[in-house]
């Protein structure tokens, strides 16, 4: 062996030793951090993005979650992973001429989707605006609280996730923790959300909400029928949003806000079905989308029923 | 003597009430049977698109034909129906007048084109347990939407396709329709203002 190659070999050797020594503290810290975790927690920590999981892996994860939640909340939990069905694109329409601003939808949503009661998270915000000013966000009020609604000279515009076809929240997410599923619902994998809140900054509708504190829901009020990408219990530090009640609509039911609305202002259906309620509205009523100029292309439409 | 008379009357009304309840149950049974038959047919005939959907999402037949709306029973106030329970013994008076003693509560709130209309424009004078269309045709209280639709045709059209009014159930399957009178008092149809649920917490009051 010539001297040059010998010295190179030596250098390589020392390099690899040096590399190993350099990595040692990192490994030590990592090991210490994971040392206190149970095997399930370690598995959950290294869990792949939900979109890339196989059917078997999803089943396993869902089963573990059901067990975990059932133990934590003391009742039988179901965590569904029902995927989107071909030929369905969900759309929503809200009748601005009929909404009376009673906020029943806000609280039906909180209950159905296990939003934190304290600190408070509301996926739906109802804006009160003056009829003579039209849709004027500068003067809109979400804290209105009169004796009775509707108030003279005012109209009400509930705002929630607009389920954009061109969702800015999705394009800014650095971890691909949020995406638009095949049926048009923009969903969040809470396990992959790192809480950077870029999506909240990108959303022009204020539709995304951050868990600043550990979510607080009384055990007896928790809704145990959940979907992995929807209303399953969240943790501190993740972003959440309206999913059109993914756990309901993928099983054929109307969203909770549609079911509760006392004026029947809220309409929901399949945009690809020409006989659906939603298509009738788009074809026969005066329809607008909120902040059209931003080219977010919402699948949430506002219309005038009269 | 007087007391005896009254108790006999109330017994009589009890019997008619029972018969009427029985009728309603019978009607709903027939309706359910008819409805389930049609649903089966739709599944047999199901087109390609329907077949790819889970069964729960298949279209129902709610919008086909006039008599197939899955609507809830009318919301009567207690002990008021059947109307013939009381009216059978009364001499009908076709003259327009202010009501005293009976139904004065309805008279007090009546604001459904009060100037031009009164009871017998919608209620039949001879067959008290029926409503009356402008054509003179009698209809049951469970079809009252036809009566409303005589004037509010645009609303009826929207209601049939599920735009006016509230639907519950399945977005692509069985739906529950409400009658006009479930939300609008037929004698005073304008929506009444209600108390809103509490506003969201102000940002300054959020405690972590």
Pairwise CB contact (< 8 Å): A268 & B171: yes
> Locate tokens 């067959």: which residue?
B127
Query: pLDDT above 90 covers what percent of chain A?
Result: 83
* Vertex A267: Cα angle to A266 and A273 (nearest 5): 170
Give the pLDDT of residue B21: 54
Average pLDDT over residues B191-199: 95
Residue B176 covered by a domain: yes
Which range (A32-46, A246-260, B129-143, B192-206) has the least confidence?
A: A32-46
- Residue A87, chain B, CB below 8 Å: the answer is yes
Average pLDDT over residues B68-75: 64
Q: How far is B108 from chain A (nearest CA, A)?
A: 22
Q: Which of A300, A211, A243, A267 is nearest to A98 (CA)?
A: A267
Average pLDDT over residues B73-85: 80
Pairwise CB contact (< 8 Å): A277 & B163: yes
Residue B200 covered by a domain: no
Query: pLDDT above 90 covers what percent of chain B?
Result: 31
Residue B125 covered by a domain: yes
Average pLDDT over residues B65-77: 60
Tell me the pairing of strands A90-95 and A300-304: parallel
Give the pLDDT of residue A7: 53
**Nearest residue in chain B measured CA to CA from A90:** B171
Q: How far is A39 from chain B (nearest CA, A)?
A: 31
Helices (H), chain B: 2-45, 48-51, 84-87, 104-109, 144-149, 153-160, 180-183
- What are the angstrom distances between the C-alpha of A70 and each of A39, A75, B14, B53, B175? 19, 5, 51, 31, 32
| Chain B environment of A280 (Cβ under 8 Å) | 161-163
Residue B143 covered by a domain: yes
Residue B208 covered by a domain: no
- Kindly tell me if the per-residue pLDDT of A224 is higher than 70: yes
Buried b (16+ CB within 10 A) or exposed e, B172-193: bbbbebbbbbebbbbbeeeeee
Residues 112-141 of A with CB under 8 A from B: 119-120, 122, 125
Tokens of A15: 């390099």
Identify which has the larger pLDDT, A2 or A137.
A137
One of 1.10.10.60, 3.30.70.20, 1.20.120.420, 3.60.15.10 is the CATH number of A90-304, namely 3.30.70.20
| Chain A environment of B158 (Cβ under 8 Å) | 305
8 A C-beta contact, residue A205 and residue A290: yes
| Chain A environment of B200 (Cβ under 8 Å) | 106, 120, 122, 125, 142-143
- Kindly report, residue by residue over B145-162, the tens digit of the pLDDT: 999 999 999 999 999 888
Torsion from C-alpha of B22, B28, B29, B33, nearest 10 degrees = 160
> DSSP label at B114?
T
10 Å Cβ neighbour count for A45?
11
Pairwise CB contact (< 8 Å): A252 & B202: no
Query: What total of structural domains would you count in chain B?
Result: 1
Pick A253's closest partner by Cβ from B170, B194, B196.
B170
Pairwise CB contact (< 8 Å): B167 & A254: yes
8 A C-beta contact, residue A304 and residue A286: yes
| Chain B environment of A140 (Cβ under 8 Å) | none
- Kindly tell me if the per-residue pLDDT of B46 is higher than 70: no
Pairwise CB contact (< 8 Å): A252 & B164: no
Buried b (16+ CB within 10 A) or exposed e, B76-97: eeeeebbbbbbbeeeeeeeeee
- Kindly tell me if the per-residue pLDDT of A54 is higher than 60: yes
Residue B206 covered by a domain: no
Give the pLDDT of residue A240: 98
CA distance A51 to A24: 33
Average pLDDT over residues A83-90: 96
CA distance B188 to B132: 18
- Residue A91, chain B, CB below 8 Å: the answer is no
Domain housing B58: 2-191
Whether complex ipTM tops 0.95: no
CA distance A216 to A233: 10
Give the pLDDT of residue A215: 96
Confidence of residue A22 (pLDDT cuts 50, 70, 90): confident
Give the pLDDT of residue A38: 77
């Amino acid at each position: 062996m010539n001297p040059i190659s010998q010295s190179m070999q030596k250098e390589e050797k020392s390099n690899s030793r040096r590399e190993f020594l350099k990595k040692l503290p990192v490994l030590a810290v990592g090991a210490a951090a994971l040392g206190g975790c149970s095997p399930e927690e370690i598995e959950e920590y290294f869990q792949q993005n939900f979109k890339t999981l196989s059917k078997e892996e999803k089943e396993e994860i869902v089963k573990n979650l059901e067990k975990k939640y059932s133990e934590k909340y003391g009742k039988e939990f179901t965590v569904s992973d029902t995927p989107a069905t071909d030929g369905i694109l969900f759309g929503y329409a809200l009748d601005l001429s009929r909404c009376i601003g009673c906020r029943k939808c806000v609280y039906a949503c909180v209950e159905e989707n296990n939003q934190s009661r304290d600190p408070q998270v509301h996926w739906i915000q109802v804006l009160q605006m003056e009829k003579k000013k039209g849709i004027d966000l500068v003067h809109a009020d979400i804290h209105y609280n009169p004796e009775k609604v509707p108030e003279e000279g005012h109209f009400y515009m509930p705002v929630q996730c607009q389920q954009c076809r061109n969702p800015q929240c999705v394009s800014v997410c650095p971890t691909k923790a949020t995406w638009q599923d095949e049926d048009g619902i923009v969903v969040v994998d809470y396990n992959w959300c790192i809480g950077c809140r870029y999506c909240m900054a990108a959303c022009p509708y204020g539709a995304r909400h951050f868990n600043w504190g550990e979510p607080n829901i009384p055990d007896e009020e928790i809704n145990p029928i959940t979907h992995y990408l929807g209303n399953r219990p969240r943790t501190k530090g993740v972003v959440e949003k309206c999913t059109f009640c993914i756990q309901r609509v993928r099983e054929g039911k109307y969203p909770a806000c549609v079911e509760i609305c006392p004026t029947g202002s809220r309409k929901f259906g399949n945009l690809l079905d020409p006989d659906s309620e939603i298509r009738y509205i788009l074809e026969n009523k005066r329809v607008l989308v909120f902040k059209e100029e931003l080219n977010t292309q919402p699948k949430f439409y506002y219309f005038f029923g009269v | 003597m007087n007391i005896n008379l009254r108790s006999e009357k109330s017994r009589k009304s009890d019997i008619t009430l029972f018969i009427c309840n029985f009728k309603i149950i019978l009607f709903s049974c027939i309706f359910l049977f008819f409805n389930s038959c049609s649903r089966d047919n739709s599944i047999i005939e199901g087109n390609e698109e329907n077949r790819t959907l889970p069964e729960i999402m298949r279209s129902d037949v709610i919008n086909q034909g006039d008599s197939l709306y899955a609507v809830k029973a009318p919301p009567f106030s207690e002990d008021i129906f059947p109307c013939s329970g009381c009216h059978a013994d009364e001499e009908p008076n076709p003259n327009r007048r202010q009501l005293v003693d009976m139904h004065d509560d309805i008279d007090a709130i009546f604001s459904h084109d009060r100037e031009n209309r009164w009871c017998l424009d919608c209620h039949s004078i001879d067959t008290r347990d029926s409503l009356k269309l402008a054509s003179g045709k009698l209809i049951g209280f469970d079809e009252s939407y036809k009566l409303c639709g005589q004037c509010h045709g645009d609303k009826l059209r929207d209601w049939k396709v599920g735009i006016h009014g509230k639907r519950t159930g399945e977005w692509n399957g069985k739906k529950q329709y409400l009658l006009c009178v479930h939300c609008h008092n037929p004698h005073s149809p304008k929506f009444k203002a209600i108390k809103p649920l509490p506003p969201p917490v102000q940002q300054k009051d959020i405690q972590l």
